[in-house]
C-alpha cells in the first residue's frame, strides 16, 4: 500500500533517505544458487554514483554496498538478499537554510502536504539517492537474466538540445553523457558544462533497447509488459514520459503503415517496439523516456516558505546539470527488475 | 501474478473474452453506503459501446450491464460489487477463416506463444471488449470521487493528422471524435470516414485533465501517482506512450524554464502536470497518451500462419477506423480507478 | 485490501451474497491447456449443496455452475476462468422478521458495525453460501494437482460428542456425516437428527490428510505452508481452531518424543504433520480443524435489536444441525487452492 | 511471492540469517508523526533476547537495534522505517560438524530440498533469530495502537506438563516462564531446569488476550481477523496450532451453549473469542497457540546425512529447553502487526 515495494515474483523493497543512516534494498525471489559478489554490484553502482565527471555533480560519495543477508559461500540461498549503502558523508546542516522553503521543481511541498512532516535534508526520501538501491537490485536481476541471454542497453539519445544521429554501442561508455553518437556527445557535453557554469540545467531523452527476451512475457490485461516497464520508468523522479516503438509518432500513422507484417523469417518491421497486446514478440524491445531538466539549479527562483510567504530561493548545492548520464544505469536496472519478475511469473503460470 | 487485478485499496478484477459467455468485473473496496444504479453505469457504457457513429465500428452491441452482488436497496454494502455484461451477439464462426493466421498488429501471435493455446474468436481476451469491464468499474470510482469534487475529462487532441487548436469542454460530446475543437473535429471526422471507406485506420492523441484532486496523493517511491496512472494507460492495448505536463518537450527545456515557481496564490505555472515527486500538488493533473492506429484493417497484409508459412490476410470484420472516440471513456474510467485507489491508500496511511 | 482475493500465483476472487443475484469466482493463474468441464465441477458442488440428507438443511438449491470465461474448446486458456452460480430460489422476504435483530453467533452485528449498512437477507456475504465459489475454484485446483499426484482427503473425525475410532477411507462417502468410521457415523447421525428435531445444533472436528505433495513447498518466513493452510481454514466462518500433526498435544511432549527421526527410508514418524519450518517434507500432511455448532438454531435466544433494545429471537429457517458433512468438500477445496498456489510459487522461485 | 513480506497497509519485510551479517525489517505504512525511539524498541527486544535466565538458552546476544531510515527528529516520517540488528557474535565454525547432517525437528532437510542450497550456520533463515525483526516491527505497531487504547497481553498458560490455575497479569513478568499463575510458574521452572540438565526440552501453550479493539475490524471473506492472526501465529516456527475463544472445545458443544447472547449491556458471554464472521465484536479477543518442544536437544538422535546415510546426531549447542517465555513477546508483536494492518485497512475502506 505504501509504495516502497516493486514486483511480485522478483520483488524489491527499498528504504532510505539521502541524509539518514543508510539506503538499501531487500530483494525477495532471487533464484537460489545464483553466484553474486559485492564487486559485481559495486561496478554498476559506480556507473550511477556522483562525482564521475564535469557533467555530473561534483559531490564525492563512495556508494559502497554491502550484502548482509541471503548469500552463503558466494551464492544466493533463495532467502532475501539484503544490500545496504551507508550514508557516510551526510551533511544535514547544509540544508538548514532551506528547511522552511519549498524548492521549485522539488517534492518539498508535496511531501509536506502528504505527510505533515518532512525530512528536509537533501530531499529526504525524494532524493535521487534512493535510486542507488534500485541499481543494486537491478544488478542482481541482471545476473539472473544474462544467463537467459537477455541484454538491456540504455543510452542518452537527446540532451541539452542535441540529438544523436548515429548509433554505436561501443561509444556509449566512452563519453561523459553516455550518448550513442560521439559527435552529438561532444556538443551535449560542451553545452552542459556551460549550463553548469551559470547554475542552470537541462533535460534529455534516454532510449533503451532490450535484446534476447523470449516471446510470451507479459501478463494480460493489467500487467502487460509495457505497462510494467512504464510504471517502473515513471517511478523515477525525473521521468515525465515514456513511449514504445514508434511511440507518439504512431498517432499520425495509418494502420497499414504501423502494423508489423510477418514473413517466414519473422517480423519484417518493429514499429510496435517488440510488444504486442502487452506480451513480448521476441523482437528487440525499444522504448524512450523523457527526462526533465534537473530541478536543483542555483539561478534565483520565486517560491514560498512553509507559512506561504513569498520569497526568493538560491540553492547553492553541487548538483547535476543534466541527470541523463547518471540515470542510464538506473533505467537499465529497473528494466532488468521488471524482466526478472516477468520471467518468474511466466514460470509460475506454466508451473 | 496473472495480471487481471488492478489496484490495492480500490481493486478491480476483470475477466472475459470477446466471444465467450460474458465479460465482467469484481470491484473490491467500494465505500459502503455509496448509492449506485445500473442506469448510471449504463450511461457510461453507452459512451464506449460500438455502433455509435460513422467513425466507429458499425457492430451493434448492447453492452447492457447488470449489478449482481454487493448492492442492497440501491446502496453499496462494502462487499464486492459484481458487474457483468453477457456476450449476446457473439458470432464465433465469423473467425474460422483466421483461426490459423496471425493478424499483423494483433496479439494473436503473442498469445499463441505465451499460452500455447488461443481463443481466436475476435481476439479473445485481447479484444478491446475487455475494456467494457473497466468502464463499468470506473463509473463506480467516479461516483465515489465526485463526492470529493474530483472531475476527470479526457478528449481527442489529435487524430488522423489533425490537431485541436482550441479547447472547449462543451464541444467534446458534440462531435463524433470527442475532440475539444469543433473545427478540427470536422476535419478528423471527414478523414476517418475516408479511411474507413478504403479499409484503413489512423491513430491519435488523447489528452486528460483532472481537476479537484487534493494535494498529497501518490505513494513514494514506486507507486507514484504518475507511475500508477502511466501503468493504467499503458495497460490499454492501443496505447503506445504517455507523458505528463510538458512531457517529452521537457527534454529540450532548461531547469530555469521548467521549474514551476510558487507565489502566495500557489503555483505560477504547471509544467510538471500537477505532480511533483509522484505526489499531487493540488493543481490540475494533465497527461496525454499516444493511441496507435487500429490494427484491424481490411487492406491486404503479409503474414504467416500457425505453421510459419507465408500468406496474405484480408480481414473483413467491421472495425473502428479510429479508436480515439471510444477510448476516451476508458481513459476516464482508468483514471478514476487509480484516483479512488490512491484516496483510499492515503486514508490508510493516516488511519 | 478488502479481503475477497486469496492466493498469489493461483488466485481466486469471490463475490456474492446468499440472496443477491449470484455468487461466483474469478480464478487467475489456471495452467493453460488444463481440461476442465462444468460437469466435473458440478460433481463437487453437489457434495457441498444443501438438501442432501436428514443431517443437512432441507433447503433445496441446485447450486448449478456455469463457466463463462477462460475456457475454449474444453481447455483453460490461461486467462481468468469465471464461474458463476445464480441464486435461483432466493426468498429475501423470509428475512423481514430478523432485519432489525442481531442473531446470536452470527455476523449480523459485526457487519452492521463494520459497514454501517447490512444485507440482512440470509446473512448476505457472511452466509455459508459464499463457500460454493470456493468449492468451484477448488475443483479447478484439484484438476491441476491430480496431474502431480496430489490427493486431499477430509472427513469428519468427531461430531455431536462422538469420535471416530477407526479409519476407512472408503466409508467416508458412505455415511451422511462423512465420517471415517461407520459405527461412529451411525451414532453421530442419530444424535444430529435428535438435535435437528429440537432445533439445536452441534459442532465437530474435521481431519484432513494430504498425500503426494512433493518436498520443498512453502515459503519462509511468513508464507509457510502451514500458515497459508491455517489462514485458508480460519477464513471459513465456522472454524475456530486448527492444528497440524500432534497439534495441541505437542504442548505436553518432550523434544525427544516429538522430533521425527530419519533413517535411510525417510522419516520414521510424522509428529510434525508433514511440514518442517513451514516447508513440506514429502510426508503426508495432516491437520485438524475445530468446527463450531451451527449458529442458526430455533431455540429461543436472548438478543438485542438494531436500537440496542433487548428481545428474544426464534429463527425459523431450515438450517444445518451440523455443518461437518457439508464443510468437508470446502476444506478439501481450500486445501487444493493453497497447494496450487504454492506449486506455482515454487516454479516462480526456480524460474 | 517469496514470503518475506507480511501485511498490506502496515507491511513488514524481513531478512536475515542467524549467522549472516544482520537481521532486520523494513516497515512500510508507519503513521507519519509517530514518536518512536530506539530505546523503546530495545526494551521489547530485551524481552525476547537469549540469555535471560535458567530456562532460556545461556547464549549471550545483545540484540541491539538501530533505526536507520524513516525517522526524523524522533518522529516517523511516513517513509519506510528500517531497523537492523547486526550479528555480532556469530560463530559459524561451531556448525561445521552438522553441515552435512539433517537435525531432527529442524528445517535443515526441507530447506535443502526446497532451495538445493542451505546456509547451515545456526539454522540460517529458519532460526528463531528471525523473530527479532518481528519484535522490532511489532513495537512500532504497538506504539500506534496504544494511542487507540489497544493492549495485547500474551503469557504462558501451560508448559512442561503444568497448567496455570489462576490468572494474575502482574505475575507474568515476575517469573522466568512468563506464566500467569505464580505457583504453576514455579513448577514449570523446576521441570524445565531438570530437562535442561538432561538435554531435553518441552512445549507449552501460550494464551493471548487483546483488549480495546474497536468493533468492525477484519475483512471478509478471506482476510478475516482470525484468519490473519492465525496466519501470523502459524508463521512462527514453533507453533503447531491455534484456537479462538472456546476453540477445539466448541466441537463438543451445542449451538444453544456456544452462541453468545446479547443484552442491553452487550454480549453476555464470549465463547467466540471476540470475533464473529471474521470481524471484531469489540469484546476481548482471546486465542491460544500450541508451542512444540524445542527441536534443539542434546539427547542422541537418529538421522541421515546429506547423502541419505544413517547416523546419530548429538547437538551440543546451548539451546532453550522451553521456548515459551521467549515466544511471548513475539506473539504480542505479531498480534500488534496484524491489528495495525487492519486498523489501516478499515480506514481505507471508509476513506
Cα dist from D41 to A158, A314, C41, D141, D342, whole Å: 50, 41, 52, 11, 22
Mean pLDDT, all residues of chain A: 95
Q: What is the H or E stretch that residue A227 is in?
A: helix A225-234
Mean pLDDT, all residues of chain D: 95
Average pLDDT over residues B103-114: 96
Residue-level pLDDT at D49: 86
Within 10 angstroms of residue A317's Cβ, the number of other Cβ atoms is 15
- Range in A149-158, B120-129, B162-171 with the lowest mean pLDDT: B120-129
Q: What is the pLDDT of residues A55-72, one digit of tens each?
A: 888 777 778 999 999 999
Hey, what's the torsion of the CAs at C180, C183, C187, C192, to 10 degrees? 30
Average pLDDT over residues D20-49: 96
Q: What's the Rg (C-alpha) of chain D?
A: 21
Q: Residue A199 carries which DSSP code?
A: T
CA distance A226 to A217: 10
Cα dist from A334 to A17, A131, B217, D13, whole Å: 19, 9, 23, 20
CA distance D324 to D188: 11
Say if A240 is an interface residue toward chain B (CB within 8 Å). Answer: yes
Q: What is the pLDDT of residues C257-307, one digit of tens each?
A: 999 999 999 999 999 999 999 999 999 999 999 999 999 999 999 999 999
Contact between D216 and C272 using a beta-carbon 8 Å cutoff: no
The shortest C-alpha distance from B178 to chain A (Å) reads: 16
Spacing of C-alpha A163 from chain mean position: 20
Say if D214 is an interface residue toward chain B (CB within 8 Å). Answer: no
- Using an 8 Å Cβ cutoff, are B23 and B133 in contact? yes
* pLDDT band at residue D92 under the 50/70/90 scheme: low
Q: What's the Rg (C-alpha) of chain B?
A: 21
Residues 6+ apart with CB under 8 A from A292: A105, A203, A238, A239, A240, B246, B250, B251, B253, B258, B272
The shortest C-alpha distance from B306 to chain D (Å) reads: 35
CA distance C131 to C26: 14
* pLDDT band at residue A95 under the 50/70/90 scheme: confident
Show the cell assigned to A166: 548515429
- Please report the residues numbered 154 through 193 in chain A whose beta carbons come closer than 8 angstroms to any beta carbon of chain B: 158-159, 161
Which residues from chain B sit within 8 angstroms of residue C79, using beta carbons? 4, 15, 17, 119, 124-125
Residue-level pLDDT at C151: 98
Q: Residue C128 carries which DSSP code?
A: G
* Rama region for D123: left / alpha / beta (φ>0; ψ in -120 to 50; rest): left
Mean pLDDT, all residues of chain C: 95
Residue D224 in 3-state DSSP? Answer: coil
Comparing CA positions, the residue from C204, C203, C158 lying closest to residue C293 is C203
Say if A299 is an interface residue toward chain B (CB within 8 Å). Answer: yes
Is the pLDDT at D315 greater than 70? The verdict is yes
Is the pLDDT at A328 greater than 80? The verdict is yes
Residues 6+ apart with CB under 8 A from D170: none
* Rama region for D153: left / alpha / beta (φ>0; ψ in -120 to 50; rest): beta
The string of DSSP codes covering A30-49 is PPTT-B--HHHHHHHHHHHS
Residue B261 in 3-state DSSP? Answer: coil
Is the pLDDT at B332 greater than 70? The verdict is yes
Interface contacts (A, D; CB < 8 Å):
169
Say if D48 is an interface residue toward chain B (CB within 8 Å). Answer: no
Residue-level pLDDT at A11: 98
- Please report the residues numbered 60 through 79 in chain C whose beta carbons come closer than 8 angstroms to any beta carbon of chain B: 66-72, 75, 77-79
* pLDDT band at residue D89 under the 50/70/90 scheme: low
Which of C21, C32, C115 lies at the smallest CB-CB distance from B78?
Answer: C115
The shortest C-alpha distance from B290 to chain A (Å) reads: 5
Which of B11, B68, B116 lies at the smallest CB-CB distance from C1?
Answer: B11
Comparing CA positions, the residue from C286, C179, C291 lying closest to residue C236 is C291
Is the pLDDT at A144 greater than 70? The verdict is yes
* pLDDT band at residue C51 under the 50/70/90 scheme: confident
- Please report the residues numbered 86 through 125 in chain A whose beta carbons come closer than 8 angstroms to any beta carbon of chain B: 102, 104-107, 109-111, 113-115, 125
Q: Which residue has the cell 437477507?
A: C121
- Using an 8 Å Cβ cutoff, are D186 and D55 in contact? no
- The ipTM assigned to this model is 0.97
Show the cell assigned to C322: 451440523
Which residues from chain A sit within 8 angstroms of residue D68, using beta carbons? 16, 20-22
- Using an 8 Å Cβ cutoff, are A85 and A22 in contact? yes
- Range in B86-100, D56-70, D170-184 with the lowest mean pLDDT: B86-100
The string of DSSP codes covering A42-107 is HHHHHHHSS-SSTTS--------EEEEESEETTEE-SSPEEEEEE-TT--GGGGGGGTTB--TTSS
Is the pLDDT at D333 greater than 70? The verdict is yes
Instruction: Give the count of domains, chain D.
Output: 1
Contact between B348 and D79 using a beta-carbon 8 Å cutoff: no
Which residues from chain A sit within 8 angstroms of residue B201, using beta carbons? 254-256
- Using an 8 Å Cβ cutoff, are C179 and C157 in contact? yes
Which residues from chain C sit within 8 angstroms of residue D346, using beta carbons? 114
CA distance B271 to B277: 13
Residue-level pLDDT at D265: 96
Q: Which residue of A has its CA nearest to B313?
A: A261
Q: Residue B179 carries which DSSP code?
A: B
Is the pLDDT at D282 greater than 90? The verdict is yes
The neighbours of chain D, by the rule of 3 or more Cβ pairs under 8 Å, are A, B, C
* pLDDT band at residue A96 under the 50/70/90 scheme: confident
Contact between C1 and B14 using a beta-carbon 8 Å cutoff: no
Comparing CA positions, the residue from C266, C216, A296 lying closest to residue D117 is C216
Mean pLDDT, all residues of chain B: 95
- Using an 8 Å Cβ cutoff, are C65 and C45 in contact? yes
Q: What is the pLDDT of residues B2-48, one digit of tens each?
A: 999 999 999 999 999 998 999 999 999 999 999 999 999 999 999 99
Q: Which residue of B has its CA nearest to A303?
A: B262
Which of B228, B235, B245 lies at the smallest CB-CB distance from A224?
Answer: B235
Which residues from chain B sit within 8 angstroms of residue A346, using beta carbons? 114
CA distance A230 to A224: 10
Contact between A80 and D28 using a beta-carbon 8 Å cutoff: no
- Using an 8 Å Cβ cutoff, are A297 and A203 in contact? no
Which residues from chain C sit within 8 angstroms of residue B121, using beta carbons? 72
Can you state the angle between helices C38-48 and C131-146, rounded to 10 degrees?
130
Is the pLDDT at B59 greater than 80? The verdict is no
Cα dist from B267 to A103, B255, B259, B264, whole Å: 12, 16, 10, 8
Contact between D102 and C204 using a beta-carbon 8 Å cutoff: no
Which residues from chain B sit within 8 angstroms of residue C22, using beta carbons? 68-69, 82
Residue C59 phi, psi (nearest 5): -55, 140
CA distance D195 to D34: 44
Query: What is the domain extent for residue B237?
Result: 5-350
Can you state the angle between helices B324-350 and D324-350, rounded to 10 degrees?
130
Q: Is the peptide bond before D221 cis (omega within 30 degrees of 0)?
A: yes
Q: Which residue has the cell 551440543?
A: D316
Residue-level pLDDT at B91: 65
Is the pLDDT at A90 greater than 70? The verdict is no
Q: What is the pLDDT of residues B266-292, one digit of tens each?
A: 999 999 999 999 999 999 999 999 999
Show the cell assigned to A235: 517511478
The neighbours of chain C, by the rule of 3 or more Cβ pairs under 8 Å, are A, B, D
Residues 6+ apart with CB under 8 A from D164: D155, D156, D157, D158, D179, D180, D181, D184, D185
CATH of the domain at C158: 3.60.150.10
Say if B345 is an interface residue toward chain D (CB within 8 Å). Answer: yes
Residue-level pLDDT at C241: 98
For B125-162, give one letter per residue: b (16+ CB within 10 A) or e. bbbbbbbbbbbbbbbbbbbbbeeeebebbbbbbbbbeb
The shortest C-alpha distance from B293 to chain D (Å) reads: 38
* pLDDT band at residue A112 under the 50/70/90 scheme: very high
- Using an 8 Å Cβ cutoff, are B262 and A304 in contact? yes
The shortest C-alpha distance from A113 to chain C (Å) reads: 25
Sign of CA dihedral C103, D286, B349, B220: negative
Within 10 angstroms of residue A62's Cβ, the number of other Cβ atoms is 14
For A160-174, give one letter per residue: b (16+ CB within 10 A) or e. bebbbeeeeeebbee
Say if D2 is an interface residue toward chain A (CB within 8 Å). Answer: yes
Contact between D78 and A14 using a beta-carbon 8 Å cutoff: no
Q: What is the pLDDT of residues A205-217, one digit of tens each?
A: 999 999 999 999 9
Contact between C258 and D105 using a beta-carbon 8 Å cutoff: yes
- Using an 8 Å Cβ cutoff, are B203 and B321 in contact? no
Is the pLDDT at B209 greater than 80? The verdict is yes
Say if B277 is an interface residue toward chain D (CB within 8 Å). Answer: no
The shortest C-alpha distance from C226 to chain A (Å) reads: 18
The shortest C-alpha distance from D283 to chain B (Å) reads: 21
Residues 6+ apart with CB under 8 A from D27: D10, D11, D12, D70, D80, D81, D82, D83, D137, D140
Interface contacts (B, D; CB < 8 Å):
52
Comparing CA positions, the residue from A169, A136, A102 lying closest to residue A22 is A136
Amino acid at each position: 500500500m505504501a509504495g516502497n515495494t516493486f514486483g511480485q515474483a522478483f520483488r524489491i523493497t527499498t528504504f532510505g533517505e539521502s541524509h539518514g543512516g543508510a539506503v538499501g534494498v531487500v530483494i525477495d525471489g532471487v533464484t537460489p544458487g545464483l553466484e553474486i559478489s559485492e564487486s559485481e554490484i559495486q561496478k554498476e553502482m559506480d556507473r550511477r554514483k556522483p562525482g564521475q565527471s564535469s557533467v555530473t555533480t561534483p559531490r564525492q560519495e563512495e556508494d559502497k554496498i554491502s550484502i548482509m543477508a541471503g548469500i552463503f559461500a558466494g551464492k544466493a540461498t533463495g532467502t532475501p538478499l539484503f544490500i545496504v549503502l551507508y550514508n557516510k558523508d551526510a551533511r544535514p546542516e547544509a540544508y538548514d537554510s532551506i528547511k522552511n522553503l519549498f524548492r521549485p521543481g522539488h517534492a518539498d511541498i508535496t511531501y509536506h502536504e502528504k505527510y505533515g512532516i518532512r525530512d528536509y535534508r537533501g530531499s529526504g526520501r525524494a532524493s535521487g539517492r534512493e535510486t542507488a538501491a534500485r541499481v543494486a537490485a537491478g544488478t542482481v536481476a541482471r545476473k539472473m537474466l544474462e544467463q537467459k541471454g537477455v541484454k538491456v542497453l540504455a543510452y542518452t539519445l537527446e540532451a541539452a538540445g542535441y540529438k544523436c544521429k548515429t548509433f554505436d554501442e561501443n561509444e556509449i561508455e566512452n563519453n561523459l553523457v553516455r550518448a550513442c553518437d560521439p559527435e552529438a556527445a561532444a556538443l551535449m557535453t560542451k553545452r552542459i558544462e556551460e549550463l553548469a557554469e551559470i547554475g542552470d540545467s537541462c533535460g534529455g531523452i534516454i532510449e533503451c533497447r532490450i535484446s534476447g527476451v523470449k516471446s510470451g512475457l507479459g501478463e494480460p490485461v493489467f500487467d502487460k509488459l509495457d505497462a510494467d516497464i512504464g510504471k517502473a520508468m515513471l517511478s523515477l523522479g525525473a521521468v515525465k514520459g515514456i513511449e514504445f516503438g514508434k511511440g507518439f509518432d504512431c498517432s499520425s500513422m495509418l494502420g497499414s503503415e504501423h502494423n508489423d507484417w510477418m514473413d517466414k523469417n519473422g517480423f519484417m518491421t518493429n514499429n510496435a517496439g517488440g510488444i504486442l497486446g502487452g506480451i513480448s514478440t521476441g523482437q528487440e524491445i525499444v522504448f524512450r523516456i523523457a527526462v526533465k531538466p534537473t530541478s536543483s539549479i542555483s539561478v534565483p527562483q520565486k517560491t514560498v516558505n512553509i507559512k506561504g510567504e513569498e520569497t526568493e530561493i538560491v540553492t547553492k548545492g553541487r548538483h547535476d546539470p543534466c541527470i541523463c548520464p547518471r540515470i542510464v544505469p538506473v533505467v537499465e536496472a529497473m528494466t532488468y527488475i521488471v524482466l526478472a519478475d516477468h520471467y518468474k511469473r511466466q514460470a509460475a503460470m506454466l508451473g
